[in-house]
Structure 1
């Protein structure tokens, strides 16, 4: 529309709207070498992820890691790829989450609200989606990183990228970022519901809550991620009404030679098998959507580690994905943070 009393040559301005933008980690465009290399280069060049000095890290990354790792990572992605849609499961699930939220938001607030999703690494990029939302008239944007527990390498870098995208906008929208939701009662209820459905009333000898790992050094430098993971596990145990000691907290996806948060899931499940725990289940409370770390790493490498050590029963409990209970958690977070805007 053209503003009232404006000259005839005034540029058209879209009607004001409120935007809701959810963000996930990201995904390569394909599992071929160059797609994987572009994605890994962006991911592993992020100083929030690898904080070594550039002069020290970039020669290793460009000369060694990005020469070999795209082949192995691409082979892993190929085993889980959604061939029908030509994309990774993370992309499919995140789009489904955004669509479910869009339908809920439209029913509640009408066309004044716009819901989109972006990825921190890869496509659709945060820069692209923020630009599209501003062009569509979003004068306010609520940003929800899809990480239940806060970490500098996840929530913070997603926020960093949002702010970088805003630097490109001549007319910047007002912005709010959502806090992590690791201890919300509705989130814990949703996790517990997924456990109960997957196990169908059965109680394994151990439920392993496997969270994405990070260097132990980050904890000592003040990152709250480790403590928030531990609290999620404790609250889940209380909600399920299970006795102490049945839920273990561990960490996966270790990278490099530096010590990371322990215990490492791949080693821990093998030790459980050696201790005689022949029936375990694994859940991933840090992931809002199933991805390479859950579908391939947990259901592949970690399962094999357990079985190779003598374990028999291994149940992987899927992420909350676009389950209605998970969508309701997101909607509750959105409602609490969007107050006064709609």
Structure 2
């Protein structure tokens, strides 16, 4: 049975005229009362995502973007995609850089929702836990996740299929004669890190190759981190024929270390990256990598967020994977 304004008012402990003012944003309402009414509206599904509907009526339309870092990473292109769609629909963006910490992520979610009153948020960061979910539900602000698969039906997500992409890259190396394949995996972005590692393990296991513990080391998402991780790998008395890296930045750092220490790429060791950043085709030797459109991820995530804001729920898929493909360049060879 359809719920009425009177029932909403009773549950919220206010008058029907107050409920009407909240819904139509026609007159000022005490903030505590407004939130109480919005909570009842959401709980009863009277008007799904009513907070989004109301904020869209404001003159300034903001989308908050929360991410760990984006300079010289694949997130550069992702931000370009977000801004393209925001401009098309009349939105501005505001950035929150978190350094990959949960504390900062929660801070920006709260700041964007309560102080800046953004219409919605695009979140790139740690895998969500109860703290993230609780603060999102409390603030009623629509969110789209990038880089992980959402477990919440009302929160869609967009990314690349990291497991399949990694599986295909490592399988390519195996098909080209490599057996001792090491991996340098990133330390940030738990879901992405684990998914790319799982793809590596699955490819090795399916080929009947046992992965030794000292074949896998970790790195932050920088050239310096990749270089240090490559040094650690060789210090473990590992002499791989190929190294699969979680990102192109890590792969380029690893390549630099190898060449600085007298190794030839790919004659001595093949190196494979992930992300297809611009530098991957500019460095020498050029880097074999998994390429996908981060611009497309940003654009798709933003389109879905705007649909959420407009309550166009029937047009939103719970999760979307963008296409990926292997780009084979000079850093890998058959043996």
With normalisation by structure 2, the TM-score equals 0.43
Q: What's the TM-score, normalizing by structure 1?
A: 0.42
Whose Rg is larger? 2
